[in-house]
Amino acid sequence: MKLKLVFSYDGSAFLGSATQPHKKGVQDALEDALTHLGIFSKTYMASRTDKGVHASFAIACVECGDHFKDLNYLKNQINKFSHPYIHIKNLEIMPLNFEVRYDVKSREYRYIFHHGKFSPFMSRYVYFYPKMDIKKANEILKHFIGEHDFKYFCKSGSDVKSTVRKVFKSHAYTYKDMTIFHFKANGFLRGQIRLIVASVLKILDQKMTQKELVEQLKAIKKHNHFLAPANGLYLSKITY
């Protein structure tokens, strides 16, 4: 049977979500946990994240024997071996023709800024940054809504057929001592969100103009090459 796993993970413990030569990826750790239960099939991830990026809602698929009837028991058993850096939230049996990656309709990410006093215990999970003009940030973030060619908003060497993506949501909101950027799209390129976040910050810091941002968004000229730190970014939702 085909099993869908919904899980969260601490990206600071891994070199990215995909399998790595030295077995330091989220996928490697997840597969290792499954082997303890006699599940040796390859896992397939719905979305990839870079080194240091976290997930509060990731999805993977794996094929296993039909004898796994009690999914709650199986979930608890997997967590015994996947903790402390990966936590399985839910398991679901899917049709055999379910495509965990290609059936996705949208992915959502959140980038978290913390405006409080720096703490080394939180530094892997938020980006400590001074308070920002939330109204101005939203004005800038609106530029990304719609369908655009994000050719200049992705890491070099990205192996994709098209750099065109459709963004449904791009906005900022505050929660307690934090500002959170929320993005929803039909897909994201490698480094796209971190390049977007860094560009917004450059404009807020008056090191880049909105006109220059539009030029980069129209793939006319690249004005920002920097990426925001990975530790503030979370994969937060995947919709089918």
Task: Give the pLDDT confidence of 23-51 residue by residue, as tens digits.
Answer: 999 999 999 999 999 999 999 999 999 99
With 0.85 as the threshold, say if the pTM is over it: yes
CATH for the stretch 2-94: 3.30.70.580
Least confident window among 139-143, 155-159, 218-222: 155-159
Q: Amino acid identity, residue 229?
A: P
Give mean pLDDT, residues 129-142: 98
Question: Which position among 10, 28, 32, 50 bears the catalytic label?
Answer: 50
Residue 156 pLDDT class (50, 70, 90 cuts): confident
Binding-site residue ranges for substrate: 109
Q: Which residues of 79-103 are buried (b: 16+ CB within 10 A; e: fewer)?
A: beebeeebbbeebeeeeeeeebeee
**Strands 54-63 and 106-114, bridge-based pairing:** unpaired
Beta carbons within 8 Å of 43's beta carbon, 6+ residues apart:
5, 27, 30, 31, 34, 60, 61, 62
Give mean pLDDT, residues 116-127: 97
By three-state DSSP, how is residue 187 classified?
A: coil
Output the pLDDT for position 157: 65
Output the pLDDT for position 158: 64
Residue 67 pLDDT class (50, 70, 90 cuts): confident
Q: What is the torsional sign of CA 35, 58, 5, 77?
A: positive
By three-state DSSP, how is residue 28 classified?
A: helix
Q: What is the torsional sign of CA 23, 81, 119, 128?
A: positive
pLDDT: which is higher, 157 or 192: 192
First-to-final CA distance of the chain: 19
User: What DSSP designation does 230 have?
Assistant: G
Nearest-angstrom CA–CA distance, 54 and 143:
26
Give yes or no: 103 in active site: no
Give mean pLDDT, residues 144-173: 92
209-222 pLDDT, tens per residue? 999 999 999 999 99
- Residue 159 predicted with pLDDT over 80: no
Structure tokens at 8: 């969260």
Structure tokens at 125: 């999970």
| Residue 196, phi then psi, degrees to nearest 5 | -65, -50
Give mean pLDDT, residues 97-123: 97
Nearest-angstrom CA–CA distance, 63 and 157:
31
Domain with CATH 3.30.70.580 in the chain: 2-94
106-239: which CATH topology? Answer: Alpha-Beta Plaits (3.30.70)
pLDDT: which is higher, 66 or 80: 80
